Amino acid sequence: MSQLTHFDESGQAHMVDVANKQSTHRRAIATGTIYMSANAFQLLGHNASNKGDVLGVARISAIQAAKQTANLIPLCHPLPLTHVSVEFYTDEQQNALQIEVTTETFGRTGVEIEALTAVNIGLLTVYDMLKAVDKGMRIEHIYLLKKQGGKSGTWEATKT
């Protein structure tokens, strides 16, 4: 089993030293899904929420979350993101909304946590904006789809 990198030899938490790592183009893609009632899904699709454009607000929220990740995750390095994109996909059969976030930087450490943070906050924003009509929404299946860059190269989630 590989050693956890956020702990020193004595077991104390620390920020990983990336000073000797190569700066490379780093990219990560993460996803997640929120399941909701038919009524909430209908409001989502027609921007009929009392709070306005649900997907527009969730997109901006996800981007802002990616930019604030180092303030939320204590041992995460602050990164100069070069790109963040947010895409939404609807599934009418399941009354579900999937979010997919891509984050990029040129640096010494990856952007996986930024992508995952953005997915979570984007979905929580959807929940917040639609909770007046459906408090039973479920946020599920949040995971990293792909990461590229660094010495470990490309990694992709296996299809299940």
CA distance 146 to 105: 15
Please name the residues in contact with 159: beta carbons below 8 A apart, sequence gap of 6 or more: none
CA distance 111 to 102: 9
Instruction: Exactly one of 17, 53, 91, 128 is catalytic; name it.
Output: 128
Residue 157, both tokens = 């989630």
3-state secondary structure of 143: strand
Establish whether 128 is a catalytic residue: yes
Q: Where are the beta strands (DSSP E) in 17-117?
A: 24-35, 81-91, 96-107
Return the ∠ at Cα 35 (arms to 32 and 38), rounded to 5°.
145
85: how many CB neighbours lie within 10 A of its CB?
Answer: 15
Which of the residues are catalytic? 128
